[in-house]
Amino acid sequence: MRGPWKQLRSIPLHFQLRRIRWLAPVIVLVLAALHQLLLQNLIDLFFPRWAEAARLLVYTFTGSIVAWMGLSWLATAVARRAEAEIGLRDAYDELDANHQKLLALHDLGQNVAAANNKQVVLELAARAPLHLTEASSSTVVTFDGENGSSRLKLDMAWGLSENYLKALRTQIDKGVLADRCRTCTVLHAHVDGDCPLFAGLQDQAHQEGIRSLVCLPIVQANERIAVLSAYFPSADGPPEDQIRLLNILGGVVAAALESLHNRQLQVKTLNALDRATQTADALDDLAVQVLNIAISGWEAEAGGLFLYDEKSQTWSCRAQYNLGQKLADPRFDLGLDMARQTLNRNTPLIIPDFEPEAHHGLRSVAAAPLVTEGQSVGALFLGANRPLALNDNHRELLATMAHQMALAIRNAQLYTQLGQMAVLEERYRLSREFHDGLAQTLGYLGLQSERLENLLKIGQVDTAVTEFAEMRRSIRAAYVDVREAIDGLRLGTESVGQLAARLSEYTTEFTRQTGLHVNFTAVPESIQVPPAAALQLLRIAQEALTNVRKHAQAEEVDVRLRQFDGELELTITDDGRGFPHAMPVDRQYRSHGLASMRERTESLGGSLTVATQPGQGTRIMVVVPVGVSIESVA
């Protein structure tokens, strides 16, 4: 069969014959006219007596010649046209075959792109040469070990006989050096050459009808990770058009592996960041955690997490890896400069290939802005020692990852602010308690000490003894206030979610210190709520019991915790004197203790109810939803 270019070369001739087809009759008529004119004149001139016989003889002779020439020309034209049509048909058949192969390659590309793991990609790659070319078999060999070892590993084989496959595996297991395959640029070998894949297998290959092979490097992250080898029965290998198909196949497989690697990286990194987002770690701890996730996910050799304060317009590096120990170090300077640029542009900034002699020593770098809900948090910087390790194909993933990081960091900042607010609120609560209790008691004791001094000076000893007894009671009351304040400060968040157990411990200790009997019940006996909500409810119970001790003159208190119908109910009931009729209702709610309890209850999305009657005691009931939403924690 002719090659397609030789076949197509006959096409212009065919079109030429078609173009001159209308000219042939004109030429014949012109020649016939000249022939007739010459014969007529010559015969009449030289043979006037035998003119008719001469004309008949000449016409018979010339007509035969003309007929022979015309038929010969026609036969040649028909033959050339038939040859051109055959060439066109052959070219069409071959183009159609190539088209089918391209369609098969397209289908293969779609299947490879949809593969969810590396093994499936390599299997599809191993099968492809048998469908796309005249290859009789194929193999995929990888470089075993981390960072590429010096030995090959047979990862996949297709179309090889059992005997040849066994012999090839045995030869590779002996330790075929991979340096040649890692750096080979010829990518075509004869069976009798020095290719390591044919070493010791020449006789077996001849028996199998294998005469040559063509190798396709499989590259990932700019590094050759495997070689796809197609075996051919021809010593010259495949024709040029099949070589082109194999090269396309190599690109498809490399792109699929790169895409698969990016997808796996995306899932791994985003899952880790999602877990980090759900934690309440301190900001610095979280910064180190998310930076380590990014560095591990991208296999980077350097990185930094730079946070930006919009109010003061200052940058701070909350976590860094391998950027140097000083602010003037080249890598740190590069990271901070790229962080500024990417935040100003509000889009990832990627430099895929620095010059090898760059003073910071990094070959590819990237920075992404940390922005969430329209607020700029900072920027992430990553650097790698390999060119193209960070490239434009990673832009979308970088942006997604940076958004997740920004969300986690913003949550940590809010938790920090929340903690600071809690400290301020707790200081305010203590200042109120000290002002209303300890400060007033100390002021009273100061006045009493002056009075006692005057009583002793004028000799009123009995009156002074009575005043001393009253001072001792005031001192004991002040001591109890201080102890309650200290116990309140000790209500940390450790195991605070076990609300029933913590309330039971607190009421027992309250009874021991004050002598006021407190009954505690919980239904069910083990109730667990979010730690922040549990701490608020403990504070409410503490405030209520403190008010009972100071003002109720009660003998017994019931504290009940109950969970039902998606709500949590905390009730504190005493048998004391209750609120007097003369005290306006609105003043009750303006008292510091009740105001504090109401604020805490509302922060949980709940309601507080106070029921009292002079001489009948007081009942405080707090109801909050089980799925509480914390606005502030004190």
DSSP secondary structure of 409-425: HHHHHHHHHHHHHHHHH
- 556: pLDDT confidence band, cut at 50, 70 and 90? very high
Question: What is the C-alpha separation between 240 and 255, in angstroms, rounded?
Answer: 23
> How confident is the prediction for the chain on average, in pLDDT?
76
Q: What is the DSSP letter of 231?
A: E
Question: What is the C-alpha separation between 410 and 372, in angstroms, rounded?
Answer: 8
Question: What is the C-alpha separation between 493 and 279, in angstroms, rounded?
Answer: 15
| Contact in structure between 235 and 366 (CB atoms under 8 Å) | no
217 bridge partner residues: 227
Using the predicted structure, report yes or no on whether residue 423 has a pLDDT greater than 70.
no
pLDDT tens-place string over residues 469-498: 777 777 776 666 666 666 655 555 445 457
Query: Residue holding tokens 């007529």?
Result: 40
Token output for 375:
């607020």
Question: What is the C-alpha separation between 407 and 377, in angstroms, rounded?
Answer: 9
Q: Which of 177, 603, 255, 218 is nearest to 418 (CA)?
A: 603
- 302: pLDDT confidence band, cut at 50, 70 and 90? very high
Mean pLDDT of 79-107: 71
* The 375-384 sheet, strands edge to edge: 314-321, 302-309, 375-384, 364-372, 349-351
Residue 483, judged by CB atoms within 10 A of its CB (0-12, 13-18, 19+), counts as middle
Using the predicted structure, report yes or no on whether residue 195 has a pLDDT greater than 90.
no
State which H helix or E strand residue 339 sits in: helix 330-345
pLDDT tens-place string over residues 240-283: 877 877 777 777 777 777 777 666 666 666 666 666 555 555 77
* The 137-143 sheet, strands edge to edge: 152-158, 137-143, 223-232, 212-220, 188-190
Compare 587 and 296 and report the one with higher pLDDT.
Answer: 296
Question: What is the C-alpha separation between 390 and 367, in angstroms, rounded?
Answer: 10
Alpha-helical segments (H) within 460-581? 461-489, 499-514, 531-547
Mean pLDDT of 164-175: 82
Question: What is the C-alpha separation between 370 and 138, in angstroms, rounded?
Answer: 48
Q: What is the DSSP letter of 161?
A: -
| Contact in structure between 561 and 555 (CB atoms under 8 Å) | no
Statement: the pTM of the whole predicted model exceeds 0.85: no
From residue 178, alpha-carbon distances to 118, 120, 142, 172, 257 in Å are 21, 23, 9, 10, 21
Q: What are phi and psi of 170, to 5 degrees?
A: -60, -40
Half-sphere exposure of 51 (CA within 13 A, CB side): 10
| Contact in structure between 630 and 600 (CB atoms under 8 Å) | no
Half-sphere exposure of 532 (CA within 13 A, CB side): 17
Determine how many CB atoms are found less than 10 A away from the CB of residue 377: 26
Alpha-helical segments (H) within 115-194? 118-132, 162-173, 179-183
Helix axes 395-433, 283-298, angle to 10 degrees: 170
Query: Residue holding tokens 């075509």?
Result: 188
